[in-house]
């Protein structure tokens, strides 16, 4: 991680499941000179929350071109923002998961970001007939065409967030439990391991990797390399 000691990073979507786990790990490990938490609102954090020492910056994602300051000087970026159709409807989902996400990626490129990480989804495919996986695949494709030096894309399966699972996730977990018993890394992953896999790949800063897509199983492997 020595290559990151003098670098600055931003995290967009840090209040979501994966973003929360990632921002906590980043705060605990102190691998960057500075980490900026970018969001739409200020979040009150407990004094013992490791993220309380990180800077929070509020931006308007509808007018991101006028909110470039927090991103300047960041050589590494983490994009973990996302929602669901059930929460905000189809139009709201496309706005957050596609429009906002691509806007952040383009801005990252414009300010000189060298390494960008994007949490996508298992099954992402721009030609999918399902909106969720179609949008995730579309973002992957367009992001990979931006010309950023390094892009890491993560495709987690069912997210396990102890004590915070959505109803659908709980149902899916119960249905898939028999399979999980035989192949635990195939169809699920804890958000803490998502975060660890991302940090593990961050250590490849300045290496000759252009674009790498990690499957759920590969994310498990990467997470295990992090102490």
Give the residue numbers annotated as catalytic, written as ranges: 132, 136
Beta bridge partners of 159: 189
Instruction: Please name the residues in contact with 197: beta carbons below 8 A apart, sequence gap of 6 or more.
Output: 154, 214, 218, 219, 220, 222, 223, 226
Q: Which segments within the chain are labelled E, that is strand?
A: 8-12, 34-39, 55-58, 76-79, 115-119, 150-154, 158-160, 188-190, 211-214
Tell me how crowded residue 177 is: count the other CB atoms within 10 A of its CB: 11
Phi/psi for 22 (5° steps) reads -65, -45
- Cα separation, 42 vs 144, in Å, equals 31
């Amino acid at each position: 991680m020595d290559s990151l000691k003098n670098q600055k990073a931003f995290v967009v979507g840090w209040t979501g499941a994966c973003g929360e786990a990632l921002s906590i790990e980043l705060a605990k490990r102190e691998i960057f000179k500075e980490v900026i938490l970018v969001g739409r609102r200020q979040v009150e954090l407990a004094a013992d929350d490791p993220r309380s020492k990180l800077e929070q910056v509020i931006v308007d994602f509808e007018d991101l071109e006028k909110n470039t300051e927090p991103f300047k000087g960041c050589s590494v970026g983490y994009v973990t923002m996302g929602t669901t159709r059930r929460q905000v409807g189809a139009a709201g989902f496309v706005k957050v998961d596609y429009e906002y996400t691509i806007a952040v990626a383009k801005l990252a490129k414009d300010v000189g970001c060298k390494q960008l990480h994007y949490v996508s989804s298992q099954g992402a495919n721009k030609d999918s007939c399902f909106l969720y996986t179609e949008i995730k695949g579309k973002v992957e494709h367009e992001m990979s065409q931006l010309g950023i030096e390094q892009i890491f894309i993560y495709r987690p399966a069912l997210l396990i967030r102890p004590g915070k699972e959505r109803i659908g996730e709980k149902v899916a977990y119960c249905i898939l439990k028999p399979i999980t018993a035989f192949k635990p890394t195939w169809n699920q992953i804890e958000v803490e391991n998502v975060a660890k896999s991302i940090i593990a790949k961050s250590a490849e800063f300045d290496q000759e990797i252009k674009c790498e897509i990690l499957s759920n199983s590969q994310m498990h492997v990467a997470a295990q390399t992090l102490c």
